[in-house]
Amino acid sequence: MDARVRVAVAGALGKMGQETVKAVFGDDELLLVGIVDPKGQGKRLSEALAISGLELPIHYDVAEMIDDCKPEIVIDFTTPHTVYSNARTILSRGVTAIIGTTGLNEFELQQLETLAGEKEVGIAVIPNFAIGAVLMMKFAKEAARYFPNVEIIELHHDQKLDAPSGTAVKTAEMINEALAGIPPRAVQETVKLPGCRGGALEGVRVHSVRLPGLVAHQEVIFGGPGQALTIRHDSYNRESFMPGVLLAVKKMAGRKGMVYGLENLL
Ligand SMILES: NC(=O)C1=CN([C@@H]2O[C@H](COP(=O)(O)OP(=O)(O)OC[C@H]3O[C@@H](n4cnc5c(N)ncnc54)[C@H](OP(=O)(O)O)[C@@H]3O)[C@@H](O)[C@H]2O)C=CC1
Ligand SMILES: O=C(O)C1=N[C@H](C(=O)O)C[C@H](O)C1
């Protein structure tokens, strides 16, 4: 009997999907069994990605792929518009979901947690798989205990569909957990350009930059009297996410319930 974990990738022809297909294919403990991406419909993976030895057909949708390929785990790197419905489909069929796609709101997360409970399967929602980014968030939470004044600048490539990034949202949530409320600044601000002070996630301001040439970057800047502390993480390419993706797949195999954030699997 083959002991490898049967893994499928949704969004396989996208930027993250392609990297994930290569990483799963190259891992001895995992068996790549299913591929979904609407734009590859009718093709085989070896034609679309020029990886020899990968003769899998590309499926049009997740439901059809699960029925045909019987994965134990589906990794989703699709779009903020499709991720919720994909995640529901995966869980409803009793399959574990690893969700890398960002843009799920709080209500959707709760609904997915409930569904995973009903179906007795696992779901991991991971805003950032880069180990350095996870450490950045943990260090920021620690620093917030001493520096309650903080703002986040997240910088991404110009193809990114959602703002703020999932990483910025998670960072702000972790900072807010450490703080009992951020003290308001004792100044009456005049904002002459709407939006120039960014958006506030419970008092933590987030500024989103989108430019060609960037991949995924974030600075968390803490200010105190006479000093500043900046915690910065840079992903220079999408290989940076792959050790975290493989770790999440292996840790979630056979596990039930929801995990939100890679720090909870390390
Ligand atoms: N958690 C993490 O560490 C990381 C998360 N991300 C997130 O991952 C997501 C994907 O990013 P990225 O790879 O850059 O995006 P891409 O746009 O490059 O890839 C998304 C792919 O999904 C395809 N797709 C669209 N709808 C479906 C569907 N219903 N089923 C299957 N595939 C579908 C798209 O096809 P088409 O182009 O035809 O729409 C496209 O090929 C984003 O939300 C991003 O924020 C990114 C990096 C790291
Ligand atoms: O879209 C991206 O590229 C990324 N998305 C994730 C996010 O929204 O935080 C993770 C990483 O920043 C790259």
User: Domains in the chain, ordered, with CATH?
Assistant: 5-125+239-264 (3.40.50.720), 131-235 (3.30.360.10)
Sign of CA dihedral 143, 129, 249, 96: positive
Residue 220 backbone phi and psi in degrees, to 5: -115, 115
Which pLDDT score, from 0 to 100, does residue 184 have? 67
By the 8 A CB rule, do 215 and 237 touch? yes
Which pLDDT score, from 0 to 100, does residue 46 have? 79
Atom index in ligand 1 nearest the CA of residue 61 equals 30
Q: What amino acid occupies position 264?
A: N
CA-CA distance, 244 to 262, in Å (whole number)? 7
Which pLDDT score, from 0 to 100, does residue 157 have? 98
- In this structure, the residues whose C-beta lies within 6 A of any atom of ligand 1 are 10-11, 13-17, 36-39, 62, 77-80, 82, 86, 100-103, 126-129, 241
Residue 197 backbone phi and psi in degrees, to 5: -95, 10
Structure letter (DSSP) for residue 127: S
Q: Is the pTM of this model over 0.90?
A: yes
Q: What residue has token string 């045909």? A: 68
User: Ligand 2: which of 165, 206, 239 to mutate, most ligand atoms within 8 Å of CB?
Assistant: 165
By the 8 A CB rule, do 151 and 207 touch? yes
Helix (H) or strand (E) holding 63: helix 62-69
User: pLDDT tens string for the chain (266 positions)?
Assistant: 789 999 999 999 999 999 999 999 999 999 999 999 998 877 888 777 877 777 889 999 999 999 999 999 999 999 999 999 999 999 999 999 999 999 999 999 999 999 999 999 999 999 999 999 999 999 999 999 999 999 999 999 999 999 999 999 999 999 999 987 677 677 888 999 999 999 999 889 999 999 999 999 999 999 999 999 999 999 999 999 999 999 999 999 999 999 999 999 99
